[in-house]
Structure 1
Amino acid sequence: MNDLEITGLSYSYGRDVKALDDVGFSVPRGSIVGLLGPNGSGKSTLIKNVFDLLQSQSGSITVAGAPHTTSQAKREAIYLSSNDYLPEFLTAAEYAAMIARFYDLEVEHDLARELFSEFSMDGRYDDLIENYSHGMRKKAQLMVALLVRRRLTVIDETLNGIDIEALHLAEKELAGLRDEGLSVLLCTHDFPVLERLADEIVFLDHGRTVYNAPTSALVAEHGSLERMVYDYLESGDR
């Protein structure tokens, strides 16, 4: 089964701006799929469609086999956005408990404190989020997702802005999700991270799918994901 299945997805803003044009790909169960594309390629629009934050106009989306608009699908997925707009009036402990309740879960606070310590935030779990730096907020988003461990985790540039030690640990934790049979859609421009983690790559431009292939095959063909992207951008095929 695929934990995310997108078929024929198109989306337009008004009459003139087509953000997605017949996009289709899947995130197989127990895999990490990298999502790449320049600004304006449709990545954020796609993710918002997956989470029903934008009403789909055509095509179909399923999460863990259920239509993405259903409560069943929404219980199976968690979205880590590119911004760090967290509720500043809550502590991280309160924020984690709130997110967990969305999934009818309870947070294991001792485990959460251990995780915060591992991510160099020892003693900060009970602090107000308003006192967190940008990087700390990003790490808090990631750690809460690791605590609730959904069938599908979608990460939209959340790893940008965290320190190198936390990034290394995040890679290990995301690989651990995959080892458990869970799935990740990882949207980032950090090419080395994708080469190390992603099983497959989906590369969008102007709302269309340019590449949808195993990471190893793309690296073998182009030398690196970075070279693949730059070759395409310089090719005039856009």
Structure 2
Amino acid sequence: MLAVEGLIKKYGKDRAVDNISFTLEGGELVGLLGPNGAGKSTTMKCIVGLLRKTAGDIKIGGHDHLNIAAKKLFSYIPETPYVYDLLSVKEHLQFIAQAYDVKNWKEKAESLMDTYDLTDKADKLGRDLSKGMRQKVSICCALLPDPQILFFDEPMIGLDPKAIKNTKKIFQTLKDNGKTILVSTHLVDSVETIADRIMIMKAGKIIGNDTLSNLKATFADGDLSSLEDLFLELTKDA
């Protein structure tokens, strides 16, 4: 579903993303981990077209990532959720439904709002929503069109424990339905139990890309019992 080849993003002479390549398959949830400044968000923004890549090739569903056919296949949930100040929660979902020509959207919208405890906030304007509620609206809008691939950039930040638990359940359902999910985060425990594969970034490079068990077998010295231990070991300063 996603193929990234030789992706480079420069800011002046500095490489925020330094010649990385990877693929994602259908029905796969991949955790993109790294400390702040590792290049995770830049990578994701290049993939979805919010940043112009310096070099490299990106294909989504076999299409160039900037092609309209590719854009129809994915949803992107940014780290900082953006909502329209003068649209209500329900109107956000209606807008997405009309933009993506989602049939019979009301029932699904109501189910999503119920999952994220937004039903009683349906008529609340975007400008009056807390960051956590904006994040929930952003996730609901991303899920409504039933995309084939979803890009989540730090999805758990700002969510309450119930919403985090429900989001993990949704991830599992999406995987079961053959969807492809890329989750960028520095909160290691948010993906440890649900990711099929882990990619670890440091200084713009991918320094590990495999299943958790294989990464442990490759890099662990016997004392690294968790993904957090492995992550800290791989990303520590030399």
TM-score (norm 1): 0.92
Q: C-alpha distance in 2, partners of 1:110/1:127?
A: 19
Q: C-alpha distance in 2, partners of 1:149/1:97?
A: 14
Amino acid at match of 1:119: Y
Tell whether 2:225 aligns with 1:227: no
- RMSD between superposed Cα atoms in Å: 1.6
Amino acid at match of 2:36: N
**Percent identity for Structure 1 against Structure 2:** 32
Q: C-alpha distance in 1, partners of 2:115/2:7?
A: 39
2:167 to 158, 165, 170: 170
Q: Do the aligned partners of residues 107 and 128 (structure 1) sit closer, same or farther apart at CA in structure 2, a change above 3 Å counting?
A: farther
Q: C-alpha distance in 2, partners of 1:6/1:113?
A: 36
Tell whether 2:20 aligns with 1:23: yes
Determine helix, strand or coil for the equivalent of 1:148.
coil
Partner of 1:73: 70
Amino acid at match of 1:151: Q
Deviation at 1:190, TM superposition (A): 2.3
Partner of 2:115: 118
Amino acid at match of 1:225: L
Deviation at 1:224, TM superposition (A): 1.4
Partner of 2:11: 13
Deviation at 1:219, TM superposition (A): 4.7
Unaligned runs of at least 5 residues, structure 1: none
Deviation at 1:42, TM superposition (A): 1.1
Q: Do the aligned partners of residues 107 and 24 (structure 1) sit closer, same or farther apart at CA in structure 2, a change above 3 Å counting?
A: farther
Q: C-alpha distance in 2, partners of 1:187/1:107?
A: 31
Amino acid at match of 1:227: D
Partner of 2:136: 139
Cα distance per residue 1:182-230 (max 9 Å; x no partner): 1110012222221111101111111111101112323564321111121
Q: C-alpha distance in 1, partners of 2:44/2:206?
A: 14
Q: C-alpha distance in 2, partners of 1:94/1:120?
A: 16
Matches within 5 A, 1:98-117: 98-106=95-103, 108-117=105-114
Q: C-alpha distance in 1, partners of 2:49/2:236?
A: 34
The more displaced of 51-60 and 73-82 is 51-60
User: For the Cα contact (< 8 Å) 2:34–2:235, is it kept in 1?
Assistant: no
Count of residue correspondences: 233
Q: C-alpha distance in 1, partners of 2:203/2:2?
A: 22
Q: C-alpha distance in 2, partners of 1:193/1:107?
A: 32
Q: Do the aligned partners of residues 57 and 225 (structure 1) sit closer, same or farther apart at CA in structure 2, a change above 3 Å counting?
A: same
The more displaced of 162-171 and 226-235 is 226-235
Unaligned runs of at least 5 residues, structure 2: none
The more displaced of 115-124 and 38-47 is 115-124
Tell whether 2:215 aligns with 1:218: yes
Amino acid at match of 1:169: N
Q: C-alpha distance in 2, partners of 1:53/1:201?
A: 24
TM-score (norm 2): 0.92
Q: C-alpha distance in 2, partners of 1:184/1:67?
A: 18
Amino acid at match of 2:134: R
Amino acid at match of 2:4: I
User: For the Cα contact (< 8 Å) 2:35–2:235, is it kept in 1?
Assistant: no
Cα distance per residue 1:7-28 (max 9 Å; x no partner): 11111111x2111111011111
